[in-house]
Amino acid sequence: MRIMCFSPHPDDSELFCGGTLAKYKAQGHDVAVAVMTRGDVGSPTLSREEIAAVREKEARAASAIIGAEFFWLGYDDEFIYDSREVRMHVIDILRQFKPDIVLCPDKDNDYHPDHTRTGQLIWDTHVMAAVRLIPTDHAACKRIHEIWYYDTPAGIGFEPEAYVDITDVWDTKLKMVECHRSQDDWLQHIYGYPAKYLLETQFRFRGYQCGCTFAEAFRKARMYPQSVARHGLLPV
């Protein structure tokens, strides 16, 4: 099976579904991470070009921990827009990896415009990726992938439909998140807390909801065709 995560910023995939990606990879599935923006405003001290270079390096290192394939789309942080150019780019990335399942932000409930637009772009292109007469550099996908929306920051407005117990890969998730060292400074600067606080609070609570120590939460996008399996390809 092939699982792809679209991350609005260079750390979102690790923060919100890094454990799930690690579990899929450990079970022998193919995993990829696609990062929409270069994270070029996420520093209280560095220039945009400096922090963008740092964050790409951090994101690549995080994906390498689990051996995930990595895609860097390189748009400006805070300025993702729905345009023909962006749609075609997303379609071509999907066609390169040809996923069975795509994890992405919740287009309806997330607070951040980059998050909601990433989720909307994945929704808007999920059929287009399989349409031959929309040409890109790579051949059209042979099937329409499933979409699962991952949790929102602090879980605000998000009603989980499925949980993945990530207790056994918690240390791996932490190592992935710790690759994003630049973001501890940024989170402290703008929100007043480090990434570890978010992790311990949100994912222990999700675990409490479903009866384990740590969990990640998801809801499934409704579409045609639905998968044959009753609950789709998630949970692992």
Average of per-residue pLDDT across 144-153: 96
Look-up of token digits 């079970």:
27
Predicted pLDDT at 234:
77
Output the pLDDT for position 8: 98
Give the per-residue pLDDT at 76: 97
157-188 residues labelled b (16+ CB within 10 A) or e (exposed):
ebebebbbbbeebbebbbbbbbbbebbbbbbe
Averaged pLDDT, 95-106: 97
Which residue matches tokens 């190592």? 175
Q: What is the pLDDT of residue 32?
A: 98
Domain boundaries, the chain: 2-220
> Which residues, listed in sequence order, are joined to residue 70 by a DSSP beta bridge?
33
The pLDDT tens digits for 152-204 are: 999 999 999 999 999 999 999 999 999 999 988 888 888 887 777 788 899 99
Which numeric CATH code is attached to 2-220? 3.40.50.10320
Q: So what's the pLDDT on residue 224?
A: 82
Q: Residue 125 corresponds to which amino acid?
A: T
